[in-house]
């Protein structure tokens, strides 16, 4: 069994595997990551292969400090501000790749930028410090599927195809990092997350362009494919009257009682609780033997709700 509890010995073992270009799944505060040495084409190629990910999709490089990031990307004033405020934490900064950067070109999908992130999770930090290398880590699911928020989810996705899954319990936040491109003239939010657009705008003191699926900007972040996070069952959004054979993903105190089965993201209407439960709930409800579809109640589209609705919209695309 490749799932191991987190302790000094398993952290050291995981760091050793990463240094020898093997893959390790590890917890972060957002979702579990499938990590490999970001400076090794071999390790990065293995990540793409295990995930079944289209190789044009760039990976986030995880670092143990801002100083480590500065060895690989061209740091700027926006990075200084945002990292100062939100690192360690659920924010990925897209920055120009330094010309002599040792980050594998495969990790950047051949582009001239690198996404860097310093996670807040204690296990992730201990692992990154011990390994002392930048670690490329997409979410530890097979490409296009729901992101894992527990070691068990990772096992369901990847089985024994990797040597080690560090079990650090359930992810505290449950939704992937906000991704902001600050490599060019104007900042662009590629992926909404826990750090909201408003927080980023007030930190930078300027407006941020938000990527929407219709705009041409999407070509710059091919990872943001319309269909993503997809369960096997169809997903219906903004449902107030679910069918009798549907599974209902409810939100708030008031919900219809007609569905075959109901899970509530947050009975008290708390957005953070809803985000933390989102992916695990989708996994539980994704049972084609019992239900015809997953019906999702409306989620208020503000604050973290924007990130939740972003993931739900992609889950609903077939
Ligand atoms: O919370 C997270 O960000 C998790 C944990 C493990 O850190 N990671 C994660 O990685 O969600 P992934 O690979 O599933 O999503 C990374 C997203 C993709 O949409 C990708 O296209 C975008 O970030 N991205 C990464 N580097 C980029 C770059 N250089 N330019 C444009 N988009 C980039
Ligand atoms: Mg992902």
- Which of 32, 44, 59, 278 to mutate to test ligand 1, by most ligand atoms within 8 A of the CB atom? 59
Per DSSP, helices labelled H in 98-249 are 122-131, 151-158, 197-204
Long-range contacts of 16-23 (CB under 8 A, 24+ apart): 17/163, 17/164, 18/43, 18/127, 18/131, 18/133, 18/135, 19/131, 19/132, 19/133, 21/46, 22/46, 22/162, 22/163, 23/47, 23/50, 23/162, 23/163
The residue contributing the CA closest to ligand 1 atom 31 is 221
78 CB within 6 A, ligand 1:
no
Q: Quick one: pLDDT band at residue 144, thresholds 50, 70, 90?
A: confident
Cβ atoms of residues 17 and 164 within 8 Å: yes
Taking only the tens place, the pLDDT of each residue in 211-251 is 765 444 444 444 455 556 689 999 999 999 999 999 999 99
Considering every ligand atom shown, identify the ligand nearest to the alpha carbon of residue 228 and give its number.
2
Q: Kindly give the distance from the C-alpha atom of residue 63 to the centroid of ligand 1, in angstroms, as a whole number.
A: 14
Cβ atoms of residues 154 and 140 within 8 Å: yes
Q: Kindly give the distance from the C-alpha atom of residue 244 to the centroid of ligand 2, in angstroms, as a whole number.
A: 32
Q: Kindly give the distance from the C-alpha atom of residue 254 to the centroid of ligand 1, in angstroms, as a whole number.
A: 35
Q: Kindly give the distance from the C-alpha atom of residue 216 to the centroid of ligand 1, in angstroms, as a whole number.
A: 19
Statement: residue 65 has pLDDT above 60:
yes
The residue contributing the CA closest to ligand 1 atom 6 is 33
Which residues lie closer than 8 Å to 314 by C-beta, 6 or more apart? Answer: 225, 226, 227, 228, 229, 230
Cβ atoms of residues 176 and 193 within 8 Å: yes
Q: Kindly give the distance from the C-alpha atom of residue 3 to the centroid of ligand 1, in angstroms, as a whole number.
A: 24
88 CB within 6 A, ligand 1:
no
Taking only the tens place, the pLDDT of each residue in 263-297 is 999 999 999 999 999 999 999 999 999 999 999 99
């Amino acid at each position: 069994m490749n799932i191991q509890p987190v302790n000094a010995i398993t952290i050291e073992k995981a760091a050793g595997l990463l240094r020898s270009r093997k893959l390790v799944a590890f917890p972060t505060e957002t979702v579990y990551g499938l990590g490999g040495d970001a400076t090794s084409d071999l390790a990065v190629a293995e990540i793409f292969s295990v995930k079944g990910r289209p190789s044009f999709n760039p990976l986030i490089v995880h670092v143990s400090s801002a100083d480590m990031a500065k060895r690989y990307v061209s740091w700027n004033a926006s990075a200084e501000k945002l990292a100062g405020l939100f690192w360690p934490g659920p924010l990925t900064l897209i920055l120009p790749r330094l010309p002599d950067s040792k980050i594998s070109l495969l990790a950047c999908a051949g582009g001239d930028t690198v996404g860097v992130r310093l996670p807040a999770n204690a296990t992730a930090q201990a692992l990154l410090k011990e390994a002392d290398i930048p670690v490329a880590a997409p979410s530890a699911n097979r490409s296009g599927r729901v992101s894992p928020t527990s070691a068990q989810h990772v096992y369901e996705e990847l089985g024994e195809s990797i040597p080690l899954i560090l079990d650090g319990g359930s992810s505290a936040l449950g939704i992937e990092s906000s991704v902001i491109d600050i490599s060019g003239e104007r900042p662009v939010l590629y992926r909404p997350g826990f750090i909201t657009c408003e927080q980023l705008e007030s930190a930078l003191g300027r407006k941020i362009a938000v990527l929407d699926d219709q705009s041409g900007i999407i070509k710059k972040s091919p990872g943001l494919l319309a269909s993503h996070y997809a369960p096997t069952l169809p997903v219906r959004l903004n449902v107030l009257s679910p069918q009798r054979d549907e599974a209902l993903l409810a939100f708030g105190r008031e919900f219809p009682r007609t569905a075959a089965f109901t899970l509530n993201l947050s009975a008290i209407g708390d957005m953070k609780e809803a985000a933390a439960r989102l992916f695990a709930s989708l996994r539980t409800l994704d049972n084609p033997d019992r239900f015809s579809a997953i019906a999702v109640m409306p989620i208020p589209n503000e604050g973290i709700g924007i990130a939740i609705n972003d993931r739900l919209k992609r889950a609903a695309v077939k």
